[in-house]
Chain A
Amino acid sequence: METKKVTFTVTPNDQVKAYWIAVGNDDIPLVNGKGSINLQAPQRHFLIWWFVGNSGSSLNITGESGIDTLVEVKNSTIPQGEHEGAGVKRFQL
């Protein structure tokens, strides 16, 4: 098995106050919404995200390896009446 560097970019909207992401149980530190991790390939992985903000807040996430987009999270939203959101998405590397 080889490893590939995957770079994640989180794009929150104005109402998101804080956010965190992980792949499997590995937390990914982010600076200005960007962070990288080395992942084993070929293998499937799970992207997990958490965020805090006002109801209706949303964010997008992309995970890229080189020029390939491996995973995209589109418009993940905090439900009405809530202040926290989370989600999961599988991707193949």
Chain B
Amino acid sequence: MQKIILPVIACILLLINNGGFAEEVGSPMSVKATRSTAQDNPVQSPQVNSPQPFAGSTPLLYSELFLSGIGNSVVGTAIETTGTAFEINAMKDSSSALLRIGRDFSFSSEEGLAEFSTWSITAAAPINKKDDFTALATWDGLANSFRLTLRASNFVVAGKRNPFSADPQELPRRLSELCALAGIDVDKGDQCDTGKV
């Protein structure tokens, strides 16, 4: 077998990805997985190094309860992909076949310090429009005009505050009051967030 065709690569990546979520779309040349979200617009970060990141008219008190300055410390490049798990995109009407795999990690390393990191690997090659399959690589080497892109980012924020740090079982009084003022009864299981308060 001289050529490695896209469906074979798709199967391999699905195995590697361990629980990836592929969804068939369109023609036999088209396989696309969901949850791939390339970002065209890098995050607007006017809050970086801003002394008053919550100086706007929106829920200042509510934000203070949860966030004591997220965005004051941002390290690394702008995140251009989030939630990317796996993507193969090769449609006959497009000019190139795209194959992408990636991961993102969300964790808090210590009190008030939270990290969000992503990585992805993207391989692309021109579509062979004369044939029903496109080779990204052969045993002789990579396809002509093959492109390989590695992308990684690390987003670090300081100031994430957990209002439950005193008692994880009890809703803090101040938070309860703010939600109640917005007509939200958290004790009944209603959702209370910055978009509603």
Interface, chain A (partner B; CB < 8 A): 10-27, 29-33, 35, 43-46, 48-50, 52-54, 58, 71, 73-92
Contacts and interface: CB of A to CB of B under 8 A. Distances in A.
A30 B192 contact: no
Contact of B157 (A18, A30, A54, A79): A18
A70 to B, nearest CB: 10
A87 B189 contact: no
A64 to B, nearest CB: 15
A79 B107 contact: no
A48 B164 contact: yes
B91 interface: no
A18 B187 CA distance: 28
A83 B45 contact: yes
Interface of B: 35, 37, 39, 41, 43-47, 53-54, 56-59, 62-63, 65-67, 70-71, 78-79, 82-83, 85, 103-108, 114, 116, 155, 157, 160, 162-165, 168-169, 171, 175, 179, 186-196
The 5 closest A-B pairs by CB, nearest first: A24-B168, A87-B193, A18-B116, A86-B66, A77-B195
Given A14-B37, A73-B193, 5 more contacts: A30-B106, A48-B164, A83-B71, A87-B194, A90-B186
B106 A16 contact: no
A43 B169 CA distance: 9
B106 A25 contact: no
B169 A52 contact: no
B116 A83 contact: no
Nearest to A21: B106
B89 to A, nearest CB: 16
20 contacts: A14-B37, A14-B82, A15-B39, A15-B41, A23-B168, A29-B107, A33-B83, A33-B106, A35-B106, A43-B169, A44-B169, A52-B155, A73-B191, A74-B191, A83-B43, A84-B47, A84-B53, A84-B70, A87-B193, A87-B196
B193 A25 contact: no
B105 A30 contact: yes
Nearest to A76: B193
Contact of B171 (A18, A49, A88): A88
Contacts of A22: 108, 162, 164
Contact of A76 (B57, B114, B195): B195
A80 to B, nearest CB: 7
Contact of B108 (A11, A15, A27): A27
A79 B163 contact: no
Nearest to B117: A18
A78 B114 CA distance: 18
B168 A17 contact: no
Nearest to A19: B106
